[in-house]
Every structure is written in C-alpha cells, then in structure tokens.
Amino acid sequence: MQNDLLLKALNHEIVPRPPIWLMRQAGRYLPEYQKIRSQVSFLDLCNNPELAVEVSLQPYNRFNTDAVIVFSDILLPAQKMGLELEFTDDGPRINNLISNESDIKKLTIPLANEDTYPTLTAINLLKKEIGEKVPIIGFSGAPWTLFCYMTEGYSSSNFNKAKKFLHSNPQASHQLLNKITNALFLYLTMQVNSGAHVLQIFDTWAGILSLEDYKTFALPYLKHLISDLMPLKVPIILYTNNSHHLLPKISMLKVAALSLDWRCDLQEVRDNFGTTIGLQGNLDPTILLTDETIVREKTKNMIQSVKNWQTGYICNLGHGVLPSTPVENVHAMVDTAFEFANEPVFV
C-alpha cells in the first residue's frame, strides 16, 4: 500500500508522523457534499453506491487524508432488520421502535450481501477507485448504541426510554442485544470481504450507562462481536463517547485502538492502561469552529501531549466534524499533522 501510515500505527510500528483521518470527514461542511445532498435524500445517498463512493472520496481528494471511510450510517442495519428508518432535519428517527418482546421476535437477521447492503457495493467500488493508495475504513455502531436508537426512536441526550426498557425488560433486552450483535457480525464481516482494511465500531452512547450496567448489557456483546471478528485479521478501532468511567473495562477489549472523546487525557489513558493498545483522537470538534491559528496550536499540543506518539497514535477528533466547520480549518488540522514528518523521532 502506498500510504500505510494508519495500518502501521495500528500495528504499533514507528511512523514518521501521526496518520490522520476525521470522523464524519465526508459531510455537510463540504460544499461538494452539499451539492450532491441538494439532489438526493440522506438515506438515498447511503443506499446509492456510486454517490456514496463519490462522497467518501471528497475529503481524501481535498485534504489527502491517510484513510477513506465509506459513507454510510450506523442505523442501516436497524432498517435492514425490519425497522422503519427516516432522516429528518432533527436527525434519524425510527417510527416503529421496539417496545416489547413481541417486537423483538419480529426482527430478522438479514443476509449481509450487496442486495441487502449497498454499502458493500460502495466498498467494492472504493477499492477499485483508490487501489492501494490508502486504507479503506468500514464501520458500524456497537450493539448497545443501536439498542438505544431502536428502543428510543431518535437521538437523545439521556436515552431515558431506552434505559427504562433495559431495566424493565432485562431478559428481552438481552434478546435484542444478541440479535443486533449477530446482524452486526455478518455486516462487518462482509465489509472486510468487500475490501475494508480497518473497522471502526462506534459506541457513541456507551457513556450514558453506569459501569455496572455497562458490564451487564453492553460489554459482553461488544466483546463477543470483537472476538468473532478476530479471524478476519483486520485492526479494529473502538470509539466510545463520554466514557471515562468505563475505561478500565473498555481498555481490556482486544482492539487495535481506542478512539476517545476530548474529555479524556490521552497520555493519562496511556499511563493507566498501557501502551499495548493504540489511541485515536481526540480534539474537541468545536476547536475547528475557531480559526486556523487556534486549530494549529491545539492540534500540535494534542499530538505532543502523547509521549512517543510515533507508535500507536492516530490523530483525529473526539467526535465528528460539525456541519458549520470552515473547510480551511480542517485543512489546518490535517496540515499540522503532516508537518510532524519534519520532527525528530524519539521512541
């Protein structure tokens, strides 16, 4: 591969500069993305492989990022399992949410093929388009995060309805989480078979759980999913949000790297949980709303805060790029990471 910095970092090999890609690097802040979205709905864009490839490549072509992540959405498996998914101005919405055990029994575990998931076709096309230039990242949500949307119906700051269901129906909750996990395993396996070099699992709502509930309802299914994916021999990045209280357990998972939000001190995580697991992140996305000077300063400080960043570190945000982000500020962040190639290497 021409640019294998990301793969080397995930393998803890020494790299001359930190690899960089950004969560939601393809999205509403890009004018070329907005042009396409003016002609097609978000869900239709996700399910149109040719357009999904075009959008996936937009940030790579503009910023020369060290990876291309396929354009899709974590909730597509919920739709394929039998739920009615739509995207509104306020975000995703599931209209026939799970409210009882009977609803869970109606869910199917879909075959993971290109007829079911156009995303798989998009990955295949991406592979043909970029060849061996940079790695392709496939992704999904984590079982718990999908559970949240499937029982709440939409995004929430607390997911009270989902947590109420969890505690009121623990047996049914385990049944639902098991079904979700099985569907995700098939989906992620086929992403690798289609050409993904790296997988990222987004457990965006892990942080709303107590440690005890996380150990009971989220961790076992995430561990099971990761373990079943191990034979594929591709590195897995796990993103968790607002999860500082969960790190003692999360850090024990057999993933190549933890992608953390800006509330975590990266070096503190490395000091507490060792250097055998990689780190990704974790600039606050609101920094990109400021100006280029601040972005450069904060990005440089973040990278330098990680001792021996030359092994096992990936520069990224602590969450996705915000829609109102100026394009020139993304350039500033990426360029700052590139400039570390001129720094002396100490390991």
**Long-range contacts of the stretch 100-103 (C-beta < 8 A, 24+):** 100/169, 100/172, 101/169, 101/171, 101/172, 101/175
Of residues 234, 238, 261, 236, the one with CA closest to residue 249: 238
* Bridge partner list, 283: 317
Candidate list 33, 117, 149, 214, residue with the active-site label: 149
| Residue showing tokens 């291309």 | 68
Alpha carbons within 13 A on the beta-carbon side of 72: 31
User: Which of 12-30 are b and which e, b meaning 16 or more Cβ less than 10 Å from the residue's Cβ?
Assistant: beebebbbbbbbbbbbebb
93 is catalytic: no
62 is catalytic: no
Amino acid sitting at position 266 = L
Candidate list 4, 17, 24, 261, residue with the active-site label: 24
37 is catalytic: yes
Measured CA to CA, the distance from residue 35 to residue 343 in angstroms comes to 39
Candidate list 4, 17, 66, 73, residue with the active-site label: 73
- The helix (H) or strand (E) run that includes residue 91 is strand 91-94
Neighbours of 54 (CB within 10 A): 20
Amino acid sitting at position 4 = D
73 is catalytic: yes
The tokens for 215 are 């150990």
265 is catalytic: no
Kindly tell me the sign of the dihedral angle through the C-alpha atoms of 257, 258, 264, 268.
Answer: negative
251: helix, strand or coil? coil
Amino acid sitting at position 240 = T
Q: Provide the annotated active-site residues.
A: 24, 28, 37, 73, 149
